[in-house]
Structure 1
Amino acid sequence: MADVTVDVAIIGAGLAGLIAAQKLSQAGKCVLVLEARERVGGRTYASAMAGSARAVDWGAEWVLPDFHANMMGLIERYGLELESERASVEWRAPGFSVVASYDELRRSHAGFDYGLTALQAWFERPASGDETRLSVQALLEALIQDSVSRALVELALFPLLGADMAEVAAKALREEIRFHGGNVDLTFSPEARRLFGGFGGLAEKIAQELPAGILRLNTPVRAIRQAGETVTITGDGVSVMAGRVLLAVPVAVLHQIEMSPVIAGIGREASARMNAGQVVKLWARAQGAAPVTSLQTAPPLRFVYSWERDGELLVCAQALVRDVEGQDPAALFAAALPGVKILSASAQNWLADPYARGSWMAAALGAYPPACFAEVFGRVRVIGGDVAAEWAGWMEGAVLSAGQAVREILA
């Protein structure tokens, strides 16, 4: 087993880990990044579908130009190209279907407008009681009596939270609205862009700039032990002694690393259930004309969006694991989009990924608040989009979290 001594060891080469490694190495620190996978990026992952030369995002996909200054800075720095947002939207709730933009639906459907107004009023009131123990479903049932109107609001919420509304805490929704300037309309319908070629390409560009030898792939970390001013990290084939450690891994897998002393709250049960995000992302290569560019509908597929470029029609869908597990992705797309020929389809189940155990962060009902881990535990700090104080669950949050940790180390 090779022994290495560094100033800072970073566990995980997702976006937060890579940004931290880049900034610390530029500041003259001796850094080592240990990544369990054979690739960088973590849940920021892009690859091409069978039969297509174009890479698509299987994980994080959206950036909000009006809010995500750090991500926009990275996109500009690396000369990357953003694509347009979705345009026409079809809403399918039980007993209701309409093609309308978010704004058009709000103007034309009094119940939808009422529900959003009630949600805005709820946000503007001080929190009453423990909102980590109030589910979003219970909140919406209290605010919106009409079932169709409530279903439409839930459809609009799904792409944002990526969870069963009965399992995600109302506190998570309050935080999302806060991130969007306290405005419900901007929360539900912001200007959103995706990156041509996928955000996995951004992670790869950052990794390519790191000094030679500081990134080790295929190296899962098994244990972290603190003793005085030294932290010893034991991984597959390597033992590292570091002055500081940045744990840049999803909160749902923190318990898989043996820690001494134990970080309070990171038990197997608590860690595994912190994140209610349980989205499967599905992609299809298709032929024909999609009737709309976005479909927000009831299960099994809950959010479907498509676009054409260079004569190729690509369709993405988001669904809860339990709704699609064991089913053929092509058949699911065919059922949701009759008249469109599905040429090939695949799915990425982040819940089954041993180094993720969930999709983007949506704080689970009654769970230990993930942001509580965004502090220093001795010489170890947890970073990443899951624990970011701002924009948790977004790539912007990962970048902000990494930047904060770097400033603390360099201070």
Structure 2
Amino acid sequence: MTTRYLKQSNRFIIFIILTLSLSLRSATVSAEPPLSADVLIVGAGLSGLSAAYHLKKAGKTALILEMSPHIGGRIRTASYPGGAHAEVGLEEFWENNPAIEIFKDLKIPMETAYSSFSSFYYQGKLYPFTQDSNPEFLRSVLDTDELQAYKLWDAKMAELYRQLQQRPLPDELLALMETSFADWIKNTSGLSPKAQELVRIETEPEYATSWQKISALDGIAEWHYFSGNGLAPRHVVGGNQRAAQALAIFIGKDRIRLNQLVTHIKSTDSGVEVTATDQGNFKQQIFRAKYVITAIPLFRLNDIQFTPELSAERKQAIQTQSAGAYFTAHVRVDNAAGSFWTYDGESILPIMTDSPLGVIYGGESKPGGDALLNLLVSGADAERFNSRISDPDQIQEALLTAFDKHWPGFRQSVKQMSFYRYHPRAIASWPVGRSRFDALSESLRKPQGRVYFAGDFTEDTHSNGASQSALRVVKDILQRSD
């Protein structure tokens, strides 16, 4: 009796052990272990990729979690049959962008295609940029008195920009947050109406909204790209997307996870935990590291739960920051249409327009093939075109009508239009009463525990801001010993 009981008990125990063993084995197979890194980076745009580059150079490991199925953020290049291509997002890198040094290190070829000033329309008249420098161009646009007033104003702007480098900012500069760039120019600059229009039409595409909607303080910061001889815009040969691809190769494609929707970031005294859902299979995973860098547009931070929650000051900074708007249209036209933008045998692109066409850039195409134009529309027209209820046929007709206004008969040359919408809040902008230089913006440039905030929304409206923020956060992380 006892022996039989023991045998039955042993069988039962063995059954339990086997069951537990199989269960544990099954759990081990189905649960993917979290990847570890020194730093987790949310976002694979220019800021996130640059941060990962600097961390790797410093001997630190990084893992990037990107929500979309592609890298680069707004760095995207569209390719077309026949070898033509044009930028969908970021059009240029200014020569003072810290990313330029990264590209040099990675041997990414770049070119300078045009000046900071561009050809532009004023009261229906085209002023073509055919000169070798901004000062020469201005002499062809403004009369003697207008030019003298412009030079005095530009010198004042250069001095004010130098003062922007001071910390803390002088009170008289901070007061300029309370007036719009447009009103400040009209009331204090002494510029002629034509010179004022030149300032407006050159700068508005940079902050992607009306100059009535940004403060004079931020307008001063924007103008330094054009002041004096101006800064040179540069492109990556073959398309800007090649820069993102080269960065990804250097970082290691196994260090970039695509389709990862980050939903929770937890910071503790010893590290961070980032929860992300794979949008391909909807499996959730927790990643752990010492620090985390968010390199995404600020409005995306509202989609993430933070533990501990973000400070009241940071929340206010996010909620009160504004956004500009871009819309891109690629226009494939007959090669003979090049005569519309050729002056004395040379292209005068890009052209700044005061119409729904926005800025007319030239795409790259093979000799003898169809020409490709790249329209970068900003502000109110971009908001209208980006609307999901906007009819593509109506957009095309609006653009063709605008083309015919500038270049009569141009629509007959158009073969195809391709439209690319931006998220309506993806472009950094600060409204009147706010500024990239105010205390709220400064709060976003400081870490909250082990959480760092990067991206152009924390620094600047340009890709410069994305690159600068990457340098800032990596430098801070490398100096920490905890």
TM-score by length of 1: 0.84
Aligned to 2:175: 130
Cα pair 1:376 1:382 within 8 Å, conserved: yes
Q: State the Cα RMSD in Å.
A: 3.0
Secondary structure at 2:233's aligned position in 1? coil
Instruction: Choose from 354, 376, 398 the match for 1:318.
Output: 376
Q: Which moved more, 1:299-308 or 1:222-231?
A: 299-308
Matched, 1:348 2:420: yes
Matched, 1:57 2:87: yes
How far residue 261 of structure 1 moved from its aligned partner, in angstroms, is: 2.4
Q: Which moved more, 1:208-217 or 1:374-383?
A: 208-217
Cα distance change on mapping 1:295 and 1:262 into 2, 3 Å? same
Quick one: percent identity of the two aligned structures?
Answer: 21
Aligned to 1:305: 361
Aligned to 2:465: 397
Specify the structure having the higher radius of gyration (Cα): 2
Matched, 1:94 2:94: no
Cα pair 1:333 1:342 within 8 Å, conserved: no
Cα pair 2:120 2:352 within 8 Å, conserved: yes
Aligned-partner Cα distance in 2 for 1:310–1:88: 26
How far residue 104 of structure 1 moved from its aligned partner, in angstroms, is: 4.5
Aligned-partner Cα distance in 1 for 2:271–2:105: 38
Cα pair 1:112 1:152 within 8 Å, conserved: no
Aligned to 1:48: 79
Aligned-partner Cα distance in 2 for 1:403–1:88: 28
Aligned-partner Cα distance in 1 for 2:293–2:416: 40
Aligned to 2:333: 286
Cα distance change on mapping 1:273 and 1:320 into 2, 3 Å? farther
Instruction: Choose from 78, 85, 91 the match for 2:107.
Output: 78
How far residue 338 of structure 1 moved from its aligned partner, in angstroms, is: 3.7
Moved beyond 6 Å, runs of 4+: none
How far residue 240 of structure 1 moved from its aligned partner, in angstroms, is: 1.7
How far residue 244 of structure 1 moved from its aligned partner, in angstroms, is: 0.5
Secondary structure at 1:304's aligned position in 2? strand
How far residue 207 of structure 1 moved from its aligned partner, in angstroms, is: 1.0
Aligned to 1:407: 475
1:247-396 superposed matches below 5 A:
247-264=294-311, 265-267=313-315, 270-271=317-318, 273-287=320-334, 288-289=337-338, 290-291=340-341, 292-306=348-362, 309-311=365-367, 312-320=370-378, 322-323=380-381, 324-325=384-385, 326=390, 328=393, 330-334=396-400, 335-336=402-403, 337-340=407-410, 341-352=413-424, 357-359=425-427, 361-367=428-434, 369=436, 370-388=441-459, 392-396=460-464
Secondary structure at 2:186's aligned position in 1? helix
Cα distance change on mapping 1:90 and 1:153 into 2, 3 Å? same
Secondary structure at 1:193's aligned position in 2? strand
Cα distance change on mapping 1:286 and 1:32 into 2, 3 Å? same
Cα distance change on mapping 1:89 and 1:217 into 2, 3 Å? closer
Secondary structure at 2:264's aligned position in 1? strand
Aligned to 1:191: 232
Aligned to 1:117: 152
Cα distance change on mapping 1:100 and 1:408 into 2, 3 Å? closer
How far residue 258 of structure 1 moved from its aligned partner, in angstroms, is: 1.7
Amino acid at match of 2:372: L
Aligned-partner Cα distance in 2 for 1:212–1:318: 31
Aligned-partner Cα distance in 2 for 1:233–1:405: 18
Q: How many residues align?
A: 395
Gaps of 5+ in 2: 1-30, 164-171, 278-283, 342-347
Matched, 1:150 2:196: yes
Matched, 1:170 2:216: yes
Aligned-partner Cα distance in 1 for 2:233–2:105: 16
Secondary structure at 1:91's aligned position in 2? strand
Amino acid at match of 2:360: V
Amino acid at match of 2:38: D
Q: Which moved more, 1:9-18 or 1:328-337?
A: 328-337
Amino acid at match of 2:42: I
How far residue 319 of structure 1 moved from its aligned partner, in angstroms, is: 1.8
Matched, 1:7 2:38: yes
Aligned to 2:261: 220
Instruction: Choose from 225, 228, 231 the match for 2:272.
Output: 231
Aligned-partner Cα distance in 1 for 2:73–2:471: 18
Alpha-carbon deviations, 1:132-186, whole Å to 9, x = none? Answer: 22211111221246444322321122233322111122222222345x5xx7234
Cα pair 1:321 1:351 within 8 Å, conserved: no
TM-score by length of 2: 0.73
Alpha-carbon deviations, 1:331-377, whole Å to 9, x = none? Answer: 3443324444222222333234xxxx223x34332236345412211
Q: Which moved more, 1:205-214 or 1:84-93?
A: 84-93
Aligned-partner Cα distance in 2 for 1:406–1:128: 30
Secondary structure at 2:185's aligned position in 1? helix
Aligned-partner Cα distance in 2 for 1:408–1:129: 27
Cα distance change on mapping 1:84 and 1:245 into 2, 3 Å? same
Amino acid at match of 1:374: R
Cα pair 2:98 2:468 within 8 Å, conserved: no
Cα pair 1:58 1:348 within 8 Å, conserved: yes
Cα pair 2:456 2:463 within 8 Å, conserved: yes
Aligned to 1:243: 290
More helix by share: 2
Aligned-partner Cα distance in 2 for 1:87–1:175: 15
Cα distance change on mapping 1:91 and 1:72 into 2, 3 Å? same
Q: Which moved more, 1:322-331 or 1:156-165?
A: 322-331
Aligned-partner Cα distance in 2 for 1:208–1:281: 28
Cα pair 1:158 1:302 within 8 Å, conserved: no
Aligned-partner Cα distance in 1 for 2:117–2:472: 39
